Structure 1
Amino acid sequence: MVGAAAATLRPRLLSPFVGHCSYHRSKQPLHHLFRHNPGHKHISMRLSRTFTGITNLLFNRRNTDEFQDMKHKRLKPGKLSPKRLVPDHIPKPPYVDSMKPPGISSGAQVHDEKGIECMRAAGNLAARVLQYAGTLVKPGITTDAIDEEVHKMIIDNGAYPSPLGYGGFPKSVCTSVNECICHGIPDSRELEEGDIINIDVTVYLNGYHGDTSASFFCGDVDDKAKNLVQVTKESLYKAISVCAPGVEFNKIGKIINDYADEHGYGVVEQFVGHGVGRVFHSDPVILHYRNNERGRMMLNQTFTIEPMLTMGSIHPIMWDDNWTVVTEDGSLSAQFEHTLLITENGVEILTQC
């Protein structure tokens, strides 16, 4: 998912889309939807038309009391290891080695038979890498060590780790611990007993991206944290269950927001799902909260759904690295993501082992 809606992203995708799925070059820079105020380090919000700020405030106050007794230290940046190398024979996405971050390109990614098979292969590899990464989660391991293992598995399978070099992102996977909402950069910090961690894996295989993430428990985790993770996962699958040709995309946000409300959790609004395929991020922009945006799912279209739920505030703050995004109040956040293919019979999860 890295960069799908990062507040600092501004330029368009750099190269035209070629191959077995359709798209048009973006004419809308990403900051049109997502803006960053450097003076306050807050990412501005585009509020749901039906979920008011007053309601959000009530949920945030209630949940603040619930997480105050949790025993986790606020995150601090660790040390980064040198950039990992990718063999020259592995094809690289067009954005690699450019410090200019791509935007979200316009146009749906709709595939022919060959493109679908390539998407299945990329999705399957991403799922297997994520599954392996989850087995590494234990107290004492660094997120950098997880990145090293993920990097090795991806290149051993002839693929490129999509996050590496995307808009200057320095690592091959995103590791978002505790209050980190998304885009956490693997570093020297060791995981601790009771942490939760989202690992976000994207691979570029044979010209196609497969994108997936999941939240994992590190050792003995507090029941409240376990519940947040479980509800976040369930919200994703509830949203997936309604996907089919002709279904309005705004049903996704309503289902996720309704389910989060039932459990008293907030839904992060600034970071979105997206079309994925030959291009890492494209239309449609998938909002995970209630909205009235137009657009319907198309046969053979691929996109991600990736809800981020919080135990407290939904307001994100970006670190000085211009990637790491944490909750304003230090409350826990969880995320799950799948790449989906719309089929005649409904939907196929491409990133499921």
Structure 2
Amino acid sequence: MLLSKTDEEVELLRQNGDLVSRTLAEVAKHIKPGITTKKLDQIAEEFIRSNGAVPGFLGYSGYPATLCISVNDAVVHGIPSNYELREGDIVSVDCGTLLHGYYGDSAYTFTVGEVSPEVQRLLRVTRESLEKGIEKAIAGNRVGDISHTIQEYAEKNGYSVVRELVGHGIGRHMHEKPEVPNYGVRGRGPKLVDGMVICIEPMINLGTKHIYQEPDGWTIRTQDGKPSAHFELTVVIRKGKAERLSTFSYIEEVLR
């Protein structure tokens, strides 16, 4: 049985959702050509710790950094390095926090300077597919309703959906049930119940859906080397409309 969270648990998850959102906005201030992804990671770690939390990803299953920073054809789980961001790059920044025994998780794909219209459109459609998925995250629906909506919208726009990586429940553990794939069949999968907290995170590719893992054991890349976009928000399942625990509004204030 999939248990929903109590109001007290939701409040703690909300605090984490707010912190990951503010951390991503802090990182957004520094994304520009020439900065290393390792420097962005350092900025995020310092910000998280200064707010009384610890990085949720650091040490998770042996992961060596605070952020997952995935550039261009890296889908997710890119390890921060001495790579310097370049004009025209896109960079998915995935952030996790651990505060008061609960986790936060959110991701946003940024542009570095000017990017091509083709890539801009990929980011827009991926973001829109997330919004459409959240619209289906209501009590009484099933996970497949979210999954199908994301897949249908992405594929209708000519993109492909990564199969091997999925969204997830979140709480005292970073990854809890249910898994939330970005593809599937309407009306199938676990039932969504009031108070369930999930992370919805479309990973959408410009080219093929096929991916591979680098020898570092973490970085996932598209098989054809074409760009991939990734956006993630944490929501609570409610009757009628999902309640958002993380937000892109802080990031958008920075990017204005």
TM-score class, shorter: over 0.9
- Counterparts of 1:290 and 1:341 in 2: how far apart (Å)? 21
> Shift of residue 331 of structure 1?
0.5
Gaps of 5+ in 2: 250-256
- Counterparts of 1:157 and 1:345 in 2: how far apart (Å)? 33
- Counterparts of 2:77 and 2:99 in 1: how far apart (Å)? 21
Q: What's 1:115 paired with?
A: 9
TM-score, structure 1 normalization: 0.68
From 176, 199, 206, the counterpart of 1:311: 206
Aligned letter for 2:194?
L
1:301 equivalent to 2:166? Answer no
Q: What's 2:227 paired with?
A: 332
> Shift of residue 109 of structure 1?
5.0
Aligned letter for 2:133?
A
Pick which of 217-226 and 107-116 moved more: 107-116
> Shift of residue 294 of structure 1?
2.1
Contact (CA 8 Å) 1:184, 1:323: kept in 2 or not? yes
Matches within 5 A, 1:248-259: 248-259=142-153
From 98, 104, 117, the counterpart of 1:204: 98
- Counterparts of 1:153 and 1:184 in 2: how far apart (Å)? 20
SS in 2 for 1:340: strand
- Counterparts of 2:181 and 2:49 in 1: how far apart (Å)? 32
1:263 equivalent to 2:153? Answer no
Q: Which has the higher strand share?
A: 2
From 117, 121, 139, the counterpart of 1:245: 139
- Counterparts of 1:109 and 1:147 in 2: how far apart (Å)? 34
Which structure: larger Rg? Answer: 1
> Shift of residue 305 of structure 1?
0.6
1:349 equivalent to 2:248? Answer no
Q: What's 2:166 paired with?
A: 272
From 228, 235, 239, the counterpart of 2:122: 228
From 35, 49, 55, the counterpart of 1:141: 35
Taking every aligned residue pair, what percent have the same amino acid on both sides? Answer: 37
> Shift of residue 350 of structure 1?
0.4
- Counterparts of 1:334 and 1:202 in 2: how far apart (Å)? 18
- Counterparts of 1:115 and 1:308 in 2: how far apart (Å)? 28
Contact (CA 8 Å) 1:110, 1:299: kept in 2 or not? yes
Q: What's 2:176 paired with?
A: 282
Q: Which has the higher helix share?
A: 2
TM-score, structure 2 normalization: 0.94
Deviations 1:98-130 (A, max 9, x none): xxxxxxxxx635211211111111111111111
Deviations 1:194-228 (A, max 9, x none): 00000001111111111100100001111111100
* RMSD, aligned CA: 1.2
Matches within 5 A, 1:70-81: none
1:188 equivalent to 2:87? Answer no
Runs of 4+ in structure 1 deviating by more than 4 angstroms, as ranges, are none
